[in-house]
Amino acid sequence: MADKIKDAKIIFVVGGPGSGKGTQCEKVVAKYGYTHLSSGDLLRAEVASGSERGKQLQAIMQKGELVPLDTVLDMIKDAMIAKADVSKGFLIDGYPREVKQGEEFEKKIGAPALLLYVDAKSETMVKRLMKRGETSGRADDNEETIKKRLDLYYKATEPVITFYEGRGIVRKVHYATLGSDL
Ligand SMILES: Nc1ncnc2c1ncn2[C@H]1C[C@H](O)[C@@H](COP(=O)(O)OP(=O)(O)O)O1
Ligand SMILES: [Mg+2]
């Protein structure tokens, strides 16, 4: 099973909460036809299913914390396997959230060809999340949780960018634009 994805082209998409990762991914999908997999969307689908595991995940996400690594990695891997036959490559949006997640992904699936870093100022992110919170229905788009998500991003996720910069595979994009030479 896992063999099906061992040579897949992988692009990690990393950025703060509300930085515009999903929007950037839509542009790449339109242009290159890659398969977009969002860790947050996969987790929210599990929550929406009403399963016992979904209830546990919901409680963690509501607090703005990270769900256990194995849970999110298994979900991504299953989603990749399900799309392996039709996919030209995968945009993994919202993962890795910490260096350890990147290392485990590489052990279990493979190495990324590129990391798209969606850069945005923290004031911009907060503004966009507060605005999104008016209509998103997301339990984590409120002032208190947004602050925790941002703190966690700077503490745990920014080191991921530094880690992959060391390999020379980071491409920085601003939330409003996307280079044409991906
Ligand atoms: N790779 C990951 N590891 C652990 N928790 C994750 C995760 N990806 C998402 N989550 C959990 C914690 C996040 O605060 C929540 C929402 O994720 P998201 O949809 O990627 O948020 P956003 O797009 O606002 O950054 O889901
Ligand atoms: Mg998202």
What pLDDT does 176 receive?
59
Q: From CA 152, how far away is CA 159, in angstroms rounded?
A: 11
Do strands 170-174 and 35-38 pair parallel, antiparallel, or not at all (unpaired)?
unpaired
- In CATH, what class is 2-174? alpha beta
- State whether the beta carbon of 98 lies less than 6 angstroms from ligand 1: no
Question: Residue 56 contacts by C-beta under 8 Å, 6 or more apart in sequence?
Answer: none
Residue 138, annotated as binding a ligand: yes
What pLDDT does 175 receive?
65
What is the predicted ipTM? 0.96
CA–centroid distance, residue 180 to ligand 1 (Å): 27
Burial of 153 (0-12, 13-18, 19+ CB in 10 A): buried
3-state secondary structure the chain: CHHHHCCCCEEEEEECCCCCHHHHHHHHHHHHCCEEEEHHHHHHHHHHCCCHHHHHHHHHHHCCCCCCHHHHHHHHHHHHHHHCCCCCCEEEECCCCCHHHHHHHHHHCCCCCEEEEEECCHHHHHHHHHHHHHHHCCCCCCHHHHHHHHHHHHHHHHHHHHHHHCCCCEEEEECCCCCCCC
Q: Can you give the residue ranges of every domain in the chain?
A: 2-174
What pLDDT does 8 receive?
94
pLDDT tens for each residue of 132-172: 999 999 999 999 999 999 999 999 999 999 999 999 999 99
Residue 53, annotated as binding a ligand: no
List, for the chain, all residue ranges whose pLDDT scores fall below the cut of 50: 179-182
Which ligand sits closest to the CA of 43?
1
- State whether the beta carbon of 97 lies less than 6 angstroms from ligand 1: yes
CA–centroid distance, residue 87 to ligand 1 (Å): 23
What pLDDT does 1 receive?
65
Q: Hey, whose CA ends up nearest to atom 5 of ligand 1?
A: 66
pLDDT tens for each residue of 57-66: 999 999 999 9
pTM over 0.90: yes
Ion ligand 2 nearby residues (CB, 5 A): 22, 40
